[in-house]
Structure 1
Amino acid sequence: MSNAIVTPGRSAQSPLTPGGEERGGGRQRRPRKPINTQFRTAVSPHQLNTTHGRIIYWIVLVITVVSFTAAFVFPLYWMITGAMKSTEELNAIPPTFLPTHFSLDGYRQAWDLLELGRLLGNTALYAGGAWLLTLAFDVSAAYALSKLRPVLGKVVLALMLATLMIPPLVIMLPAYLTVKDVPFFHWDLLNTPWAIWLPAAANGFNVFLLKRFFDSIPRELLEAAEIDGASPGRILWSVVMPISRPILGVVSILTVVNVWRDFVWPLLVLPDSDKMSISIGIASLSSQMPQNVLVASLVIASIPTIVVFFIFQRHIMAGLTAGSLKG
């Protein structure tokens, strides 16, 4: 008795060949059906290849881009055109999207009545000094933690990152007392630019960003500079700084914008009216100014930060993602 096992639809005397055909002239095996690939997207590539799919895709894309652009740009447009209107037209209901009569009188009055030139000069001094001190101290600290590897460096970095978990309002009173009476030196820094510069430079987030970027710099590059006799300071200035422009641009934007728009801290440490920043100066005189003049002052105060953004904007994404991947 034969021990061969016969399956339905296939004879025991005609086994399949490696090519898929049965020996002995039997019938061929049916080809398998292609497996449908599932795409986890709203529109699959197959639908995009059709005219109807492309039309729907472009309609949705244009509507989305225009909607998000309008949501971000419209407040700026409303602020710029509102300064060109009279107070009555600015408060009219329903509002007008275009001024009935274009006029720059609101900007002229804002510049003269609020003394925006002096306020802009004070704020530029605070932002510029904070930017320089931030680059000096934060870059040096990040370079030391990344490449020099000091004793207890990880502990110091952990303590810096721990400060990011503390709400700013919680440390505002201790920071104010420190500025009013600096420990060991007993200096009173109120009404001086140092009250703005030193807290701005003591930023753990900037140190963390810079350290992550410095970690991605090849060690061989620094060792080659050491062989040539360069000191650590020389390596930082001549090797590390030139290739760190993306992250330096990001840190520059964050520092300048934070100092420029800050309100509560300058209000505490700069009580003298002659040394006010522009945000405090506009807020203190807002109740005495017509509404169109107030809006014009806000437009003028926003121009420097917009200029800084356009200067460094190409470094934003490059700097924020730098150091996240190695290799």
Structure 2
Amino acid sequence: MSETRTVVLSPRPTNAHDRRRAARVEARRQAKADLDERTLVSATERARPRTRITLGLLSVLVVGFLAIIAVGPVLWLAKSAVSTTSDIVTQPFALWPSGIQWQNLVEAWNGIDIGQYLFNTVVIAGGNWFFGLLVALTGGYVLAILKPKYAKFLEGAVLATLFIPGVVSLVSLYLTILSLPIIQVNLINTYWAVWLPASAHAFSVLLMRNFFAQLPAEVFEAAKVDGAGSWTVFWRLVLPMSQPVIGVVSLLTLVGAWKEFMWPLLVLPDPKLQPLSVGLYKVSSSAEISILMAGMFISVIIPIVLFLVFQRQFLRSAGQSGAIKG
């Protein structure tokens, strides 16, 4: 007599709730599988209570240590910005000031011209971003898409500049700013003296070039067959597909411009044109410590807030900058 077997099939999701639940289960299963491939601890070991507790404690200790290193200086600066000078000098590692001095921020803004220095910093960073992005986009487009006969030589020349320390070229660059070749114009005490050298950043050009080289060449060939010129291809095809790498280069350029110190100190001797990095250095010898700390806190908190506001865009751009394959 033949044996009858009954096979029970799991019901397929019939509504949106069941589909979402099945998707969550599948996501957890895939995450567990990925973890098993990446970790040195097997799933059997992780199932043991002692192993779970040990790994949890190690995770807490590592994350706490990294948080102290990253956030600790900013929190200390925030505390010092609203403390008195005596508290900063006598109790620098106190967890809380003896009295919150909100007027320090107002006095820093008005008394040591933090507002003017901040405006100058925004102008310098904006110019560096615009001209730096312009050079990086056009340079990367020429090297990766147009590919003239001298592209290899030009790419090698750009790459070679990365091996030259900035201090080595400081004197020659300063002499060039004193008297531009051919037109013989002195750019000292003008923002052009900061914008023009900062725009020629070899790393940004090569980063753009590598990204453009990964874009599908078939799209550009089809556009050229349809009669599109180089400018049309650049404006209507390359730029819309380059938003991830544009975000990365923009972030690197703005951060570099915000913290630049040596070059603005040399080419902008006029205090009315100096950025925050130079202005705070100039007033550090005469300003009260509490007011100086408040000014430093203002200069630090602004880029932190901007990053927190746009962190999703920045992180998404950084993650997608190398995701496109040809």
8 A Cα contact 2:247 2:317, kept in partner: no
Q: Distance in 1 between matches of 2:212 and 2:38?
A: 37
8 A Cα contact 1:266 1:276, kept in partner: yes
Query: Is 1:138 the equivalent of 2:136?
Result: yes
Residue identity in the other structure for 1:162? A
Shift of 1:288: 1.1
Q: Which of these residues, 228, 231, 249, is aligned with residue 230 of structure 1? A: 228
Alignment of 1:106-121 (within 5 A): 106-121=104-119
8 A Cα contact 1:253 1:308, kept in partner: no
Residue identity in the other structure for 2:245? I
SS state of the match for residue 90, structure 2?
coil
8 A Cα contact 2:104 2:294, kept in partner: yes
Q: Which of these residues, 218, 221, 227, is aligned with residue 220 of structure 1? A: 218
Shift of 1:155: 0.9
Q: Distance in 1 between matches of 2:92 and 2:190?
A: 47
Corresponding position of 1:154: 152
Corresponding position of 2:18: none
Q: Distance in 2 between matches of 1:103 and 1:90?
A: 12
8 A Cα contact 1:123 1:260, kept in partner: yes
Q: Distance in 2 between matches of 1:236 and 1:320?
A: 23
Shift of 1:313: 5.7
Q: Distance in 1 between matches of 2:297 and 2:303?
A: 11
8 A Cα contact 1:247 1:320, kept in partner: no
Shift of 1:67: 1.3
Shift of 1:320: 6.9
Shift of 1:312: 5.3
CA shift in 2, pair 1:316/1:178, >3 Å: farther
- RMSD, matched Cα: 2.0
8 A Cα contact 2:244 2:320, kept in partner: no
Shift of 1:42: 5.3
Alignment of 1:193-208 (within 5 A): 193-208=191-206
Corresponding position of 2:286: 288
Report the structure, 1 or 2, having the larger helix content: 2
Instruction: Tell which structure's C-alpha radius of gyration is larger.
Output: 1
Query: Is 1:163 the equivalent of 2:161?
Result: yes
Normalised to the residue count of structure 1, the TM-score between the two structures is 0.83
Corresponding position of 1:174: 172
Shift of 1:308: 4.0
CA shift in 2, pair 1:281/1:253, >3 Å: same
SS state of the match for residue 98, structure 2?
coil
Q: Distance in 2 between matches of 1:91 and 1:317?
A: 43
SS state of the match for residue 170, structure 1?
coil
Q: Distance in 1 between matches of 2:58 and 2:50?
A: 13
How many pairs does the alignment contain?
289
SS state of the match for residue 288, structure 1?
coil
Query: Is 1:104 the equivalent of 2:102?
Result: yes
Q: Which of these residues, 23, 48, 71, is aligned with residue 50 of structure 1? A: 48
Q: Structure 1, unaligned stretches of length 5 or more? A: 1-38
Shift of 1:304: 3.1
| Mean CA deviation greater in 165-174 or 228-237 | 228-237
8 A Cα contact 1:85 1:292, kept in partner: yes
Q: Distance in 1 between matches of 2:261 and 2:82?
A: 26
Q: Structure 2, unaligned stretches of length 5 or more? A: 1-36
SS state of the match for residue 284, structure 2?
helix
Q: Distance in 1 between matches of 2:291 and 2:46?
A: 51
Corresponding position of 1:126: 124
Normalised to the residue count of structure 2, the TM-score between the two structures is 0.83
8 A Cα contact 1:142 1:210, kept in partner: yes
Residue identity in the other structure for 2:162? L
Corresponding position of 2:258: 260
8 A Cα contact 1:89 1:95, kept in partner: no
Residue identity in the other structure for 2:136? D
| Mean CA deviation greater in 166-175 or 301-310 | 301-310
Q: Distance in 2 between matches of 1:161 and 1:309?
A: 30
Identity of aligned residues (%): 35
Q: Distance in 1 between matches of 2:59 and 2:169?
A: 45
Residue identity in the other structure for 1:301? S
Corresponding position of 1:277: 275
SS state of the match for residue 241, structure 2?
helix
Residue identity in the other structure for 1:138? A
Q: Distance in 1 between matches of 2:240 and 2:108?
A: 41
CA shift in 2, pair 1:162/1:308, >3 Å: farther
CA shift in 2, pair 1:180/1:166, >3 Å: same
